Every structure is written in C-alpha cells, then in structure tokens.
Amino acid sequence: MKAYQRYFEQVQSKLSVVFAQREKIEKAAEWVANCLANEGYIFTSGTGHSHIFAEEIFYRAGGFARVVAILDEALMLHKDASYSTEVERKEGYAAKLLAEFPLSEKDVFLISSNSGRNTVSIEMAMIAKEKGSKVIVITNLKHTESVTSRHPSGKRLFEIADLYIDNGGEIGDASVALEGLDFKVGATSTPTGAVILQSIMVQAADNLIQKGIIPEIFSSSNSDEGEAHNETLIQKYKGKIKGL
C-alpha cells in the first residue's frame, strides 16, 4: 500500500471515532441552535494550527452569520510561528485577549486544541464558563491523556469543558510511519476537526429550521446572488462582530 493510501486509511479510522460520538455532536448542535435562537453568538478559538478551526466556521459559505472568531496574530502562525508556541503558554494572556469580547450566558464557545494542555486555551475555557457560556472542546483524547497540563490548575482542556469531542488522533497528531524516518508524517486533526465542526453546524441549522427559525447563513460571495445576500448580513453585523 502506498503512503498516501495509508494516510487515507488513517483518516477514515479517525472519522469512525468521530462518528461514534453521535450523542455528543447532537448535544453540541442543540446548544448551538439554542444559542442562536436566543440571539447569542458562537465564539470560537484555537491556537497554533488549531486556529484553522476558528476560521473554518467564520464568514464561511453555508455558515452562520453570528460567529465570532478570536484570531490573535500572536497565537497564529503567519507572523512568527515559533513565538506563537511561547504565547499559547502564557498565563494571563487569555484574560487580556477576551476583555474585548462580551461573552454571556447566551453564548457558546467552541475551543479547538489537539493537545489540550496549553494555558491560553484552558484559561479561555475557564473565563467563558465564568461568564455562563457553554464550552465545547474539540481535542485529541489519546494525546491529551498522555501529557500534563501547562496551566497552574493542573487541568487539561477536556476536564474543564461542558462537552468535549475526541478527534480520534494519534499522540503527536501525525499518523503514518515511513521506513527510514524517525517521526511519523500526515497529521489528521485538521480533516477530523473540520468534520466535527461542520457536523455540529449542519445539525444546528436543521434544528433551528425544525423550531420554525430560519438561520442567518452566509452564501458564497463568488456567486452574484450570494454577494448581495452576504452584504446585507455584513452591514447588520459590522461593528458587532470583530473582524467581519
């Protein structure tokens, strides 16, 4: 079997772990639907490569308009990748970052972290819970149970969450061993994490429709009718949602 075929198999096996967590996905979708029905916001964040998941559901074709992505340059990779590793371990950084985001009991906070051990994401979860928001975590259970927390509380992210969903990944994320190479290749947290997130959002949209509520959804800006539709939503939420 070729290396890429082995990677396909790895992703499929991880997705089977995700699909086995149907009750958790349905519960998360219920919380998201209730949040939007009560005019709350979906907050979302991730550090390092996990910031991809905050962007996955923000200003996205087929995605909810009321999504607030917490995208901090210091915690992302495009400016200084190695420095982002330092920042995500800093105590107190999350409090400063979240000071400009008005979290409330109406809201849901989706936090993605493969390791679930770093201080910033853990503190974000703690602050969100203090504000009364529901905290949903996407993490790699096998990896996070193999490491210790870097937060003074000693807790890892899944231990703080109201609900966590396991992405089914390997310790270290990479999944394919190649002869002649000491380390595995082929991380799986991105495809599985995207499937988890989109599954929650799709089910939440259906839940809202079943309640008689038509959710505000972005269309593709690259279609003529979608651009006009999106402009209405942008004008409504510009200034309310940072970065829109």
Position 23 confidence tier, pLDDT thresholds 50, 70, 90: very high
Which residue is associated with the tokens 């082929």?
A: 186
Name the nearest CA neighbour of 237 among 67, 53, 85, 44. 67
User: Quick check: 42 and 107 in contact, CB under 8 A?
Assistant: yes
pLDDT digits (tens, 9 = 90+) for 157-194: 999 999 999 999 999 999 999 999 999 999 999 999 99
pLDDT of residue 45: 93
CATH class for the region spanning 41-103+214-244: alpha beta
Residue 221 is encoded by which pair of tokens? 């800006």
Q: CA 64 to CA 150: how far, in whole Å?
A: 33
**pLDDT for the residue 218:** 96
Q: Kindly tell me if the per-residue pLDDT of 148 is higher than 90.
A: yes
Query: Does 243 have pLDDT greater than 90?
Result: no
pLDDT for 14 equals: 97
pLDDT tier, 73 (very low <50, low <70, confident <90, very high otherwise): confident
Q: Of 58-62, 97-101, 147-151, where does mean pLDDT reach its minimum?
A: 97-101
Q: Where are the beta strands (DSSP E) in 21-120?
A: 42-46, 67-70, 108-112
pLDDT tens digits, residue range 83-130?
788 878 888 888 998 898 999 999 999 999 999 998 899 999 999 999
Delimit the domains of the chain by residue range: 1-39+158-207, 41-103+214-244
pLDDT > 90 fraction of the chain, expressed in percent and rounded: 78
User: What is the pLDDT, as a whole number, of residue 55?
Assistant: 92
Looking at every residue in the chain, the average pLDDT score rounds to 93
pLDDT value at residue 222 = 84
